[in-house]
Chains A and B, each alone.
Chain A
């Protein structure tokens, strides 16, 4: 492969892939963190996760078109998605929280189809992105280009991650969320309003995804159908690092980002998504084999 030769002959290009990978990986980690939150607290797997990311991106696209500075639109996207998440919880999600995973998978799958098609219909199928006009950082004599906005997005993701961890540890709602995730019934007994916790958690997750999506629209591109890949990425990261492992989520998020950059470069951009889905199967199988030895099953 020619591309492989390029990597060997120009090692600095590896650095470009690495940098790009880690920077986008932080956004994957955000989506994964949100998914872990919903999974741990509501015990459902949110297949519409990627659609929340996608919608966050569109908020920025349209806000920017309306004259809002793109970076200021990030909290706007988070807020908009928080509201959407809360509404979706009240309309649909609360009904499937108690039921078996089969139903919640189907329900969130239906939601993802709905949101996806809605976006396609309202926003058109074209690829969109927003240029925040921050310019590009050039390193290593111009061989490596890092758009400043990617650095900003990375910093924002870290900041958001830290804020979330602090929120969960220190605030009352955060503690209620953690209590509910450990044992919902016990939490209810000590007076936690678990329904409100569920709603807040789901809405919070949507907000996190919205922020991630907002950043994606500035650092990459968005279109109505890219949600599924994000859902799969988030799921993969959570499966590999485990539900409570924040450091793991960040690390594996970065790792996935880098792996994807390499795959995209070596296999071709058109196979990048296929790589992600294929990697999911590989990871699940590897996980299953590891559990097999301990007489357990991925459940």
Chain B
């Protein structure tokens, strides 16, 4: 089947620095694909390019059969491509429930849709998703008062609320208590299996990457270094060099 996300020869520079050089990756529908690489290899830049946060210098990006290279962030998000942020962004002034509700997709775009109250079905869905990530007890609390790890979970729940086709996760386990990482990984796998969400995940935690991803791309110095099954990459000399060499 054709890929859900097709990144073709994307190049992006900032000033004189080439952050992404001719990168091509492909994410099949329903898969969990990983993106690894040492710090500064251009992973988050690639994410930003994909979601339209900045323009790219060369190449093309296709999502769900459409060319999204020229689209803006909000238009791309409405197509079903959602990303989470490395620094975890939630709506800090609102309580968790409201954070969730405002992420519900809106089928109709007009004034009528804007002016609806939140229907009970939506409230239930929000609660069940909060329960799914383990935040049900905190649903009335202001998001800004949650701990970093809890905010990360909220952000993931919010992304799922949006019913994405493809979810770009930027280091989802960074900063999470190690004892909770397993349950988070399990939830991501369930989201993929039960809710049908395709995942593209940036991760530094190799154990997580190995257990989660079916296919992994490795970036280094802005270029695509290697691609393949996680087990292969772990033994790939170039990948090891890229990580060890940069320390």
B190 within 8 Å of A (CB atoms): no
B72 within 8 Å of A (CB atoms): yes
B54 within 8 Å of A (CB atoms): yes
Closest to B73 in A: A295
Provide the residues of chain A in CB contact with B104, threshold 8 Å: none
Q: Is the interface of A mostly helix, strand, loop or mixed?
A: loop
Q: Mark A155-169, 1 if CB is under 8 A from B, else 0.
A: 000000000000000
Q: Mark B118-130, 1 if CB is under 8 A from A, else 0.
A: 0000000000000
Provide the residues of chain B in CB contact with A296, threshold 8 Å: 54
* B29 CB to nearest chain A CB (Å): 27
Provide the residues of chain B in CB contact with A294, threshold 8 Å: 54-55
Q: Count of B residues near A, CB < 8 Å?
A: 6
Provide the residues of chain B in CB contact with A295, threshold 8 Å: 52-55, 72-73
Closest to B71 in A: A295
* A100 CB to nearest chain B CB (Å): 12
Provide the residues of chain A in CB contact with B52, threshold 8 Å: 295
| Complex Cα gap A141–B234 (Å) | 86
Q: Mark B52-91, 1 if CB is under 8 A from A, else 0.
A: 1111000000000000000011000000000000000000
Q: Mark A271-299, 1 if CB is under 8 A from B, else 0.
A: 00000000000000000000000111000
| Complex Cα gap A75–B73 (Å) | 52
* B24 CB to nearest chain A CB (Å): 21
| Complex Cα gap A295–B53 (Å) | 7
| Complex Cα gap A58–B72 (Å) | 50
| Complex Cα gap A283–B54 (Å) | 23
| Complex Cα gap A95–B124 (Å) | 43
* B228 CB to nearest chain A CB (Å): 33
Provide the residues of chain A in CB contact with B55, threshold 8 Å: 294-295
| Complex Cα gap A295–B72 (Å) | 6
Q: Which residues B225-244 have CB closer than 8 A to chain A?
A: none
* B77 CB to nearest chain A CB (Å): 13
* A60 CB to nearest chain B CB (Å): 45
Closest to B53 in A: A295
- Residues in A lying within 8 Å of B, measured CB to CB: 294-296
In the assembled complex, 9 residue pairs joining A and B whose CB atoms fall closer than 8 Å, in A order, are: A294-B54, A294-B55, A295-B52, A295-B53, A295-B54, A295-B55, A295-B72, A295-B73, A296-B54
- A-B pairs, 8 with minimum CB distance: A295-B55, A295-B54, A294-B55, A295-B72, A295-B52, A295-B53, A295-B73, A294-B54
Contacts A294-B55, A295-B55 known; list 7 others, CB within 8 Å.
Answer: A294-B54, A295-B52, A295-B53, A295-B54, A295-B72, A295-B73, A296-B54
